[in-house]
Structure 1
Amino acid sequence: MAGDEYELVTIYDIAKATGLSPTTVSKVFNQYSDVSEKTRRKILEASEQMGYIPNAQARTLTTKRSWMIGVLYIESSGAGLLHPYFGGVIEGFKKVATSKGYDLMFISKHIGGKKGGYLEHCKLRGIDGVVVVLPDYTDPYFKELLDSEIPCVLLDQESDLKSTISSNNMDGSKQAVDYLYGLGHRSIAHISGGTTYAGEQRLQGYLKAMEQLGLTVLPEHIIQGSYDYTVESGQKAMEQLLALEHLPTAVFVAGDNLAVGAMLAMKKHGLNVPEDMSIVGYDDIEMAKYLTPALTTIRQNTYALGSRAADMLICSIEGGSEARPQTDQIAVELVVRGSCREV
Structure 2
Amino acid sequence: MVTIYDLAKKTGFSSTTVSKALNNYTDVSEKTKKKIIEAAAEMGYLPNAHAQSLSTKKSWTIGVMFAEDNEVGMKHPFFNAIIESFRKFVEREGYDLIFASRNLRKRDTSYLEHFLYRAVDGIVVICSDPHDPQVQEMVNSHVPIVVIDMTKQNCSVVYSDNIEGGRLAVNYLHSLGHTKIAHISGDPDIDAGAQRIKGFEKGMKEVNLPIRDEYVVNGGFFSIEEGRIAMNKLLDLKEMPTAVFVSGDHMAIGAMEAIKAKGLRIPEDISIIGYDDIDMAAYVSPKLTTVKQDTDLIGASAGQLLINQMNEKKKMKTTEIIPVELIVRESCTSIN
Q: What TM bracket, shorter-length normalisation?
A: 0.7 to 0.9
Indicate yes or no: 2:258 matched with 1:258: no
2:93 matched residue in structure 1? 100
Q: Deviations over 1:150-207 (max 9, x none)?
A: 1111111123411001011111111111111111111111000112101110000010
Indicate yes or no: 2:142 matched with 1:152: no
Q: 1:259 to 1:67 in 2, by over 3 A?
A: same
* Cα distance, 1:79 vs structure 2: 2.1
Amino acid at match of 1:218: R
168-177 vs 102-111, which moves further: 102-111
Indicate yes or no: 2:303 matched with 1:313: no
Q: 1:73 to 1:188 in 2, by over 3 A?
A: same
Note if contact 1:109-1:141 (Cα within 8 Å) is conserved in structure 2. no
1:331 matched residue in structure 2? 323
Amino acid at match of 1:327: T
* Cα distance, 1:111 vs structure 2: 4.7
Which of structures 1 and 2 has the bigger CA Rg? 1
Indicate yes or no: 2:269 matched with 1:289: no
Q: Deviations over 1:134-164 (max 9, x none)?
A: 2433432222222211111111112341100
Indicate yes or no: 2:332 matched with 1:340: yes
* Cα distance, 1:112 vs structure 2: 11
Amino acid at match of 2:199: G
Residue 202 of structure 1: which of 193, 196, 200 is its match?
196
Q: TM-score, normalised by structure 1?
A: 0.80
**Separation in 2, partners of 1:58, 1:219:** 60
**Separation in 1, partners of 2:90, 2:58:** 14
Note if contact 1:66-1:128 (Cα within 8 Å) is conserved in structure 2. yes
**Separation in 2, partners of 1:318, 1:240:** 51
Amino acid at match of 2:201: L
Residue 63 of structure 1: which of 47, 52, 56 is its match?
56
**Separation in 2, partners of 1:239, 1:114:** 41
SS of the residue corresponding to residue 329 of structure 1 reads strand
Amino acid at match of 1:341: T
Note if contact 1:74-1:133 (Cα within 8 Å) is conserved in structure 2. yes
Note if contact 2:125-2:135 (Cα within 8 Å) is conserved in structure 1. no
Q: 1:90 to 1:288 in 2, by over 3 A?
A: same
Note if contact 2:227-2:254 (Cα within 8 Å) is conserved in structure 1. yes
**Separation in 1, partners of 2:327, 2:63:** 33
Q: How many residues align?
A: 286
215-224 vs 61-70, which moves further: 61-70
Written as runs of structure 1 = structure 2, the 5 A alignment for 1:113-262 is 114-195=107-188, 196-226=190-220, 228-262=221-255
SS of the residue corresponding to residue 321 of structure 2 reads strand
SS of the residue corresponding to residue 143 of structure 2 reads coil
Which structure 1 residue ranges, 5 or more long, are not aligned?
Answer: 1-55
Q: Deviations over 1:64-92 (max 9, x none)?
A: 11111011100232322111112211121
**Separation in 2, partners of 1:333, 1:272:** 26
Q: TM-score, normalised by structure 2?
A: 0.81
SS of the residue corresponding to residue 167 of structure 2 reads helix
